Amino acid sequence: MKKLFCCMAIMLAMLPTQAVTAVLSDTEKRMVEFIDATNPAALELLVDSVNINSGTMNLAGVREVGELFGTEFAALEFEVEWLDGSGFERAGHLLARYRGNEAQVKVLLIGHLDTVFEPDSPFQTFTRVDDDNATGPGIADMKGGNVIMLRALAALREVGALEQLDVTVVLTGDEELSGSPLALSKQALVEAATDADIAIGFENGDGDYRTANVARRGSSGWTLETTGTPAHSSQVFREDIGSGAIYEAARILHGFHEDDTLRGEQFLTFNPGRIAGGTTLHNNDADNTTSAFGKNNVVAESARVEGDIRALSAEQLARAQARMAAIVADNLPGTRAGISFDEGYPPMAPGAGNLRLLTLFSQVSEDLGFGEVTAVNPLRAGAADISFAADHVEMAIDGLGMSGTEGHTVDETGYLPALPLQAKRAAVLLHRLAGGQR
């Protein structure tokens, strides 16, 4: 772990430096003043968006949040389009574009409309905890980030600087539970990234405004299926019967857990999330359930395990998959096993361009008086939509959204002072990128 961040520090030191304004320009000061003056309206928009349930599978709710934010982008004179998601079994995505007359740089801004909280969740509304904190479904992940994005763009427009940018915004409707086929679900994001120079994500990263993501591990699924010879349990281990499907699944999982080449890989994790075994199995992908029938006096005929694997590079993922497959292939007597992998989210590797963008962002933060911004440890943040864009742009950064804690739980909390803080940092960063700082 220390090795990667040491490498990051060395790469940052080797990158070409460029003079950065030591103090804010008059234009930047005006943007800061605008964000402070309009923060009450930003907070009101946050409350309105949080109070609309937009669990991924609440398609109507996701569209309603899309309409709310679409109206805000239209007010900034963006061209707004709703991309229907029926082809990938989701609500769809919000696409907003602004083509500045003086644009020299193309920027892709990324957010998402959906949350993990469906209509049957007990967690449904914005609740103020104190002056600095509030709870609510998606307040940090990531409706706060969407509001921050809008406030930064509004500040640029207020001072006439938006004309210097070519901006595409993609707010996806299925970040928390991607639609299928994945290629169609992420098509708009990939196409927008292919036409952009820089990608900026407004996810909440690790929840700390003092950090940002220059790397994210990819996330893909795996399914292990084992079979055995059914027989009376008194005959288990007999030469012509063997060990049964559950023992075979247990052997494989133990092999994954104890293998030094898997457990020893920095930033690699692999987790079995669901297991079932017995005489017969019934799997339902739609609701992530597997039911089993079996008796304790019968050698198990079938077992199934589903899990995920997270890696920092495509090469690391390929190595891990090959090793897992080799462990699966060494079957116990009387059993068979197979493992399959889905494509999932790609990794976002910590390239030089990403590190350079972090340097620029950190300088912006210091110029604003908010202190240094450092890289998030990839182990402390999950996969995100920016990973589909990162390989197509010169620079990418994520985690510019709202600080908070307890994401994906009914205690999800947003740190409200981060709303104007992050908007100011994003606005000044975009202004400097538009002015040629790269």
**pLDDT tens column, 387-414:** 999 999 999 999 999 999 999 999 999 9
pLDDT higher for 382 or 143? 143
**pLDDT tens column, 85-121:** 999 999 999 999 999 999 999 999 999 999 999 999 9
pLDDT at residue 2 greater than cutoff 50:
no
User: CB under 8 Å, gap of 24 or more: what pairs does 12-18 form?
Assistant: 12/355, 12/356, 12/358, 12/359, 15/352, 15/355, 15/356, 15/359, 18/437, 18/438
Asked if 291 and 222 touch (Cβ cutoff 8 Å), the reply is no
Length of the chain: 438
Domain ranges of the chain: 15-216+348-434, 219-341
- How far apart are the C-alpha atoms of 97 and 81, rounded to whole Å? 9
β-sheet with 79-84: strand ranges across: 79-84, 92-99, 165-172, 105-112, 198-201, 395-397
Mean pLDDT over residues 276-298, rounded? 92
**pLDDT tens column, 264-274:** 999 999 999 99
Q: Tell me: cis bond preceding 417? Omega within 30 of 0 counts.
A: no
- How far apart are the C-alpha atoms of 232 and 45, rounded to whole Å? 64
- How far apart are the C-alpha atoms of 140 and 170, rounded to whole Å? 18
pLDDT at 23: 87
Q: Please give the structure tokens belonging to residue 62.
A: 């996701």
**What is the b/e burial string over 375-408, where b = at least 16 CB atoms within 10 angstroms of the residue's CB?**
bbebeebbbbbbbbbbbbbbbbbbbbbbbbbebe
The amino acid at residue 78 is F
Q: Which CATH number fits domain 15-216+348-434: 3.30.750.24, 3.30.420.40, 1.20.1090.10, 3.40.630.10?
A: 3.40.630.10
Q: What share of the chain is helix, strand, coil (3-state, %, to 5)?
A: 40, 25, 35
Asked if 41 and 28 touch (Cβ cutoff 8 Å), the reply is no
**pLDDT tens column, 147-182:** 999 999 999 999 999 999 999 999 999 999 999 999
pLDDT at 258: 97
Mean pLDDT over residues 250-261, rounded? 97
- How far apart are the C-alpha atoms of 323 and 18, rounded to whole Å? 44
pLDDT at residue 11 greater than cutoff 90:
no
Is the CATH number of domain 219-341 3.30.70.360?
Answer: yes
pLDDT higher for 169 or 21? 169
Report which secondary-structure segment, H or E, holds 273: strand 269-278
Characterise 90 by phi-psi region: left (phi > 0), alpha (psi -120 to 50), beta (else): beta
**pLDDT tens column, 208-245:** 999 999 999 999 999 999 999 999 999 999 999 999 99
- How far apart are the C-alpha atoms of 65 and 421, rounded to whole Å? 23
Q: Tell me: cis bond preceding 149? Omega within 30 of 0 counts.
A: no
3-state secondary structure of 106: strand
The residue whose two tokens read 């930064």 is: 152
pTM of this structure: 0.85
- How far apart are the C-alpha atoms of 11 and 20, rounded to whole Å? 19
**pLDDT tens column, 324-341:** 999 999 999 999 999 999
DSSP letter for each residue of 307-340: EEEEESSHHHHHHHHHHHHHHHHSPPTT-EEEEE
